[in-house]
Amino acid sequence: MKLAVLISGRGSNLAALIEACRAEAFPAEIGLVISNRPDAAGLALAKQAGIATQIIDHKTFDDRASFDAALDAALHASGAELVVLAGFMRLLTDDFVNGWRGRMINIHPSLLPAFKGTDVHQRALDAGVKITGCTVHFVTPEMDSGPIIAQAAVPVVAGDTSETLAARILDAEHALYPHAIRLICDGRASFDGTDHKKEADTVCPPLISPSI
Ligand code: GRF
């Protein structure tokens, strides 16, 4: 399956996907990496790996619709079969999202539906949860609300700060994202936009079993 990965910054999930795709048996390859920010560090990771990159700078567009139209054209031109959001920090229009329904996924650093949005690690600490984690889900117009494909649980430990917790969750993200993509490639997770509860096969062993 041909992937297009959308980034805005660091690109550590992109790096994990590049590594996963190096394995002969992995059922996907990255055809294109797009960043909406010219200074995204992840662009260099893609170039080093010999992957085509494209910058579509949102600041050069008048509105969200025209930015999304450019993004859409680039994705179709690349032959992408699955759009992988990996730290892509732009809200997308409903039209764009609906056009890629069932073919666009995102990773979020919490156990959704808990802690949608931003500042998730501090909010998890403030709430006093003992287990948090990360989620890969199909993207739907409502932010962080699409059908869940896979999750990994991560324990909160005494003395955690948002930085230490974020780092522990990030490690889990790097294992979870390739796992979720494999589920889609194998036909074990899908979403046709109508009834994901029937469509999605959520069979997924817990990647992390916290012992507290
Ligand atoms: C990750 O924590 C991901 O869950 C969130 O944005 C962050 C991206 O990090 N959506 P990176 O750019 O992949 O290092």
Domain boundaries in the chain? 1-100, 106-212
Ligand 1 centre to CA of 181 (Å) is 16
Q: Are strands 131-138 and 104-108 parallel, antiparallel or unpaired?
A: antiparallel
Report d(CA 12, CA 173) in Å as an integer: 9
Report d(CA 6, CA 166) in Å as an integer: 21
What CATH class has 106-212?
A: alpha beta
Ligand 1: which of 107, 110, 112, 122 to mutate, most ligand atoms within 8 Å of CB? 107
- Atom 10 of ligand 1, residue of closest alpha carbon: 87
Categorise residue 11: left if φ over 0, alpha if ψ from -120 to 50, beta otherwise.
left
Fold matches, 1-100 and 106-212: yes
pTM of the entire predicted model: 0.93
Report d(CA 24, CA 26) in Å as an integer: 6
Ligand 1 centre to CA of 12 (Å) is 7
pLDDT at 207: 52
* Nearest-atom index, ligand 1, CA of 10: 12
pLDDT at 195: 52
pLDDT at 209: 42
- The answer to whether residues 37 and 57 touch, using CB atoms and an 8 Å cutoff, is yes
**How would you write the pLDDT of the chain (212 residues) with one tens digit per residue?**
999 999 999 999 999 999 999 999 999 999 999 999 999 999 999 999 999 999 999 999 999 999 999 999 999 999 999 999 999 999 999 999 999 999 999 999 999 999 999 999 999 999 999 999 999 999 999 999 999 999 999 999 999 999 999 999 999 999 999 999 999 999 999 998 775 543 344 444 445 444 43
Report d(CA 110, CA 3) in Å as an integer: 24
Q: CATH for 1-100, among 3.20.20.105, 3.10.20.30, 3.20.20.150, 3.40.50.170? A: 3.40.50.170
Where in the sequence numbering do the catalytic residues fall? 108
In short, whether 109's Cβ falls inside 6 Å of ligand 1 is yes
Report d(CA 209, CA 72) in Å as an integer: 39
Return the structure tokens found at 207.
Answer: 């990647």
